[in-house]
Amino acid sequence: NNSWWTEAAALIGVPSGAAGRGERAAWTGDAAFASESELFDFDTASLFSSFLDQIRDLQCNDGTIGNVVPATDPRRDGPLPGGPNCTNLEKDPSWGTVYPTVTYNLFKLYGVAEVVERHWGHLTLYIDMLERQRNATGLKGFFCTYGDWNPVVKTPCQITAAASFLHDVLHMIEMATAIGRQDDAARYTALLTSLKSEFHTAFWNPVQRRYSTGTQVAQAVALWLEVVPEDLVGPLVAGLADEVATTGLTVGFIGVRYLFEALARANQTDAALRCLLRTTYPGYGYEIFSEYEPSSSLWESWDGDTMKQWLAESSRNHHYQASINTFLRKYVVGLDQPTGTAGWATVRFRPEAAATLPADLAAALPGASVTLNTHRGRIYAGWKRLPNGTVQTQLEVPAGSVGEVHVPLPDCSGGAGDLEISEQGAGVVFPARRRAVDGHMTGDGGVSWEGGDPRFSRFHTLSGSYVFVAQCRKPS
């Protein structure tokens, strides 16, 4: 709710930061990291499409993107449009990422491939600039200015700049594939492989056995980008999860975007939830339940009431931490889209927070849901804990779309019984009692079982409304 109020204040003409102090400048880093939430939470396709056109018009000749678009102060923000040379312009890849990031999010959430085509030449110009800089200095010496703005513990900005570069290339691969530019997709795939290898070499600290200076954001970006060698993942995840759950956040706005998702991807959703439920400094709960200034919006600084952490003018209404809504939607509720799809052609529902949690967290989170009105129709995804301890999941898929439902599984070990999954309209759908076709188990009522993993069982659905329950059934 705090995020929505802050997003609404920011989305006037351009996605602007610091609405609470009259600055109203569209800082590109802020807009980049908030854009996925803002494109989902509000119907903002036209606003962000216009913003992309302004970014393109203000792009430097060498491909650089400035830190504020449109430029309101040439001494700070760079020159005005007209083939700028951008000499001495302050720049940071975690701000320039706004161009590929917003393009990707607009394409992904609204299914508009035309926006990718319209900006492709300028997007490749930007990535080419990043590649030249990397070739000149390596990722370890990568150019940057601000880094993870307003953290509790600072992190060298080179690692966040490098992470933004890798994330941009990841987006470029999917967008190139979507518009049929297979040569570009192959080139960027090779580039990403090279960057991942260099990232680990450049930033891994063998003494601390952590990345960079050991901060939360440094570990989060490495885990999210999947650059960590397999034998190092377990200890790194365990250490990060324990720190976040027990001491709270030490990150700034870049860290928020990656930290919670990295934990959920590593089956550490409980640590992410414990962090969100904290009401002590630092964290969202501290803002909301502040003794001096309980907040109904999001602050620029975690301690906006005392202002000891960062700046005396820290805004009390700043949208760059609104990316937490994306975590809530993707991992607490579980609504997302698979890689390679866009515009909700495939609705993916995998509620990580509905899987087995410690009893105190399960009691604190009895359910979650979200409704989205798309150009295809209404999408509903939700789950709730039933009195008998099982979890009921429900997905509504609009006409013309298909569903990918991951049903959370109970622990049926120790004589609890045999796993049985039923769907309201199709009856028992696991164990599958139907014939196999192309590796899938066909089913009635538009439901077919496709496999799964130890925590979830995966089903394919047609359009319609589906209600699943998984339970341990003892033989009668």
Does residue 237 surpass a pLDDT of 90?
yes
Phi, psi of 462 (to 5 degrees): -85, -175
Which position has the higher pLDDT, 312 or 6?
6
pLDDT at 435: 43
pLDDT at 291: 84
Assign 434 a pLDDT band (cuts: 50, 70, 90).
very low
pLDDT at 126: 98
Does residue 193 surpass a pLDDT of 70?
yes
User: What is the rounded distance in angstroms from the CA atom of residue 38 to the CA atom of residue 33?
Assistant: 10
Q: 455-471: per-residue pLDDT in tens?
A: 999 999 999 999 999 99
Which residues sit opposite 469 in a β-bridge?
Answer: 392, 422
Q: What residues contact 206, with CB distance under 8 A and at least 6 apart?
A: none
Which position has the higher pLDDT, 292 or 267?
267
Q: Are 218 and 225 within 8 A, CB to CB?
A: no
pLDDT at 150: 87
Beta-sheet strand order (sheet of 456-461): 335-336, 346-349, 402-408, 456-461, 447-452, 440-441, 436-437
- Which residue matches tokens 């908030």? 34
Assign 82 a pLDDT band (cuts: 50, 70, 90).
very low
Does residue 441 surpass a pLDDT of 50?
no
User: What's the average model confidence in pLDDT over 121-134?
Assistant: 98
Which position has the higher pLDDT, 406 or 316?
406
Assign 311 a pLDDT band (cuts: 50, 70, 90).
low
Q: How confident is the prediction for the chain on average, in pLDDT?
A: 91
Assign 279 a pLDDT band (cuts: 50, 70, 90).
very high
pLDDT at 200: 98
